[in-house]
């Protein structure tokens, strides 16, 4: 007689990785706490290269695309690659929360936003909304850049995604445009991105590579 498993997916552990979704509301709560509680004195995030970066309101489109870029990747992994989703969410936790702690302990900001826009368009209106919702504080390193690299790493590490050359190329191109948008709409200093890149690679090694090296070392020792 064929055994019928209980239909409750949680009881059977089918969707055990869904618990990692809780990282998002926990992060948002921590983000708004830091945003509302941090006060000066602030370290001003700035390098001379910032003065040569033009303001381009059209890039707000790519800045906003960061949210579906992150969300669609997470949803795909959630339903098609449980292990990949766990790694993706652990990467988010291991990279985003330390940024908040750093910003809480070492308050920082940038003063690159224009005082006024040359003209009023749908793009500048969107930027005004972003400026209002997200202050010019807690910018170093850029969470936008770190999150973008989290998606690229997830695509390259997931067995179901890395087989598609088109998907990998598109994730890099869109990721590069998103990173560029952070400085082109004056939401970040170039310094924020320069710090974010090596930081993102360090977290990638911690989440994706170090566990594999430990398991390989343990397997090698057992086999001796």
Is 11 inside any structural domain? no
Is 95 inside any structural domain? yes
Residues 6+ away with beta carbon under 8 Å from 4: none
Contact between 213 and 83 under an 8 Å Cβ cutoff? The reply is no
Question: Percent of the chain beyond pLDDT 90?
Answer: 78
Closest residue by Cα to residue 190 from 125, 140, 116, 149: 140
Question: Percent of the chain beyond pLDDT 70?
Answer: 92
Is 30 inside any structural domain? no
- Tokens 């989290």 -> residue: 150
**138-153 as b/e, with b when 16 or more CB fall inside 10 Å?**
bbbbbbbbbbbbbbbb
Is 34 inside any structural domain? no
Domain count, the chain: 1
Compute the mean pLDDT over every residue in the chain, rounded to the nearest whole number.
Answer: 91
Q: What is the pLDDT of residues 152-181, one digit of tens each?
A: 999 999 988 888 999 999 999 999 999 999
Burial class of residue 10 (count of CB atoms within 10 Å of its CB; 0-12, 13-18, 19+): exposed
Is 37 inside any structural domain? no
Is 64 inside any structural domain? yes
Give the integer Cα–Cα distance in Å for 181 and 164: 26
- Can you give the pTM of this predicted structure? 0.90
What domain range includes position 191? Answer: 53-107+115-210
Is 143 inside any structural domain? yes
pLDDT for position 9 = 45
132 vs 15, more confident: 132
For residue 104, the number of C-alpha atoms closer than 13 Å in the C-beta half-sphere is: 14
Report, as an integer, the average pLDDT of 184-189: 98
Is 218 inside any structural domain? no
């Amino acid at each position: 007689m064929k055994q019928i498993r209980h239909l409750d997916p949680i009881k059977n552990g089918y969707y055990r990785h869904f618990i990692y979704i809780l990282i998002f509301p926990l992060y948002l709560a921590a983000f708004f706490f830091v945003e509302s509680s941090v006060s000066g004195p602030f370290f001003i995030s700035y390098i001379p290269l910032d003065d040569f970066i033009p303001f381009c309101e059209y890039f707000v489109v790519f800045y906003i695309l960061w949210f579906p870029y992150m969300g669609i990747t997470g949803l795909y992994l959630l339903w098609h690659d449980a292990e990949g989703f766990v790694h993706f969410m652990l990467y988010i936790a291991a990279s985003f929360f330390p940024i908040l702690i750093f910003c809480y302990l070492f308050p920082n900001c940038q003063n690159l936003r224009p005082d006024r826009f040359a003209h009023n368009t749908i793009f500048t209106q969107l930027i005004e909304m972003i400026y209002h919702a997200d202050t010019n504080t807690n910018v170093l390193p850029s969470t936008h850049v770190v999150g973008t690299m989290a998606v690229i790493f997830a695509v390259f590490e997931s067995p179901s995604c890395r087989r598609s050359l088109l998907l990998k190329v598109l994730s890099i191109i869109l990721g590069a445009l998103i990173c560029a948008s952070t400085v082109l709409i004056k939401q970040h200093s170039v310094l924020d991105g320069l710090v974010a890149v090596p930081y993102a690679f360090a977290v990638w090694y911690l989440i994706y590579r170090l566990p594999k090296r430990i398991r390989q070392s343990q397997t090698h020792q057992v086999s001796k």
